[in-house]
Amino acid sequence: MDIKQKTTKVQRNAPKYMSVVITILVLLTLSSVAERSTPTRYVIDQTSSVSSMQDGAIQMGKPANTPSSVGSKTLGDDQAEYKMALDKETGLRVIATRVIEAKYKPDVLIDSQLDSIESTYGITLKTHFPRLRLIFCESSHFSKLQSTIDALNTDERFEYAKLQVIDHINTPR
């Protein structure tokens, strides 16, 4: 097959390939919009307070429909290091931290905006991984955590924001 025949074949098939490419792009766009608008995966039990990882591991072993007060100390929202949460996808209990993972978009100059982000959302930067475009921030209040994550997810500077949880703990037998 000479070059002229190959060129003719490509020209005939181009509309077919373009429709496939456009369909893929539309599906990718819709999936990213759907990902940003998905309902909350974790439901934090605001009445629980986990004072240690050991306490959390004990509570993780309980069924999700039992009261969370057994084995935990009652601490205020500001004092609790962790809280129990229900993972709606798996139905299992997890330990919720106050840490939010947020990935920012490639064109965002995050270093110049960190102070503004911290003051706007009431969070404190803990770790920044520039090559991964990830920041890890901590909220001082569990009660404001979900609304902060929702607000970050609607902020155009970020691809996503999600709660950091501990969903499995290896314990010796």
Of 79-83, 114-118, 155-159, the range with the lowest mean pLDDT is 79-83
103, 164 contact by CB (below 8 A): no
Q: How far apart are CA 113 and CA 96, in angstroms?
A: 27
Look at residue 172 and give its three-state secondary structure: coil
Q: How far apart are CA 21 and CA 14, in angstroms?
A: 10
pLDDT reported for residue 72: 43
Q: How far apart are CA 173 and CA 171, in angstroms?
A: 6
Place 14 in a pLDDT band, splitting at 50, 70 and 90. low
pLDDT tens-digit map of 32-60: 444 444 467 888 887 777 766 566 666 66
Per-domain boundaries in the chain = 1-37, 42-166
pLDDT reported for residue 166: 85
Look at residue 94 and give its three-state secondary structure: strand
% of the chain exceeding 90 in pLDDT? 32
| Secondary structure percentages of the chain, helix, strand, coil, to 5 | 35, 25, 40
How many alpha carbons lie under 13 Å from residue 49 in its C-beta half-sphere? Answer: 12
pLDDT reported for residue 144: 87
Q: Kindly report the CATH class assigned to 42-166.
A: alpha beta
| Stated pTM of the model | 0.64
DSSP state, residue 67 = -
Q: How far apart are CA 153 and CA 108, in angstroms?
A: 15
Q: How far apart are CA 99 and CA 171, in angstroms?
A: 23
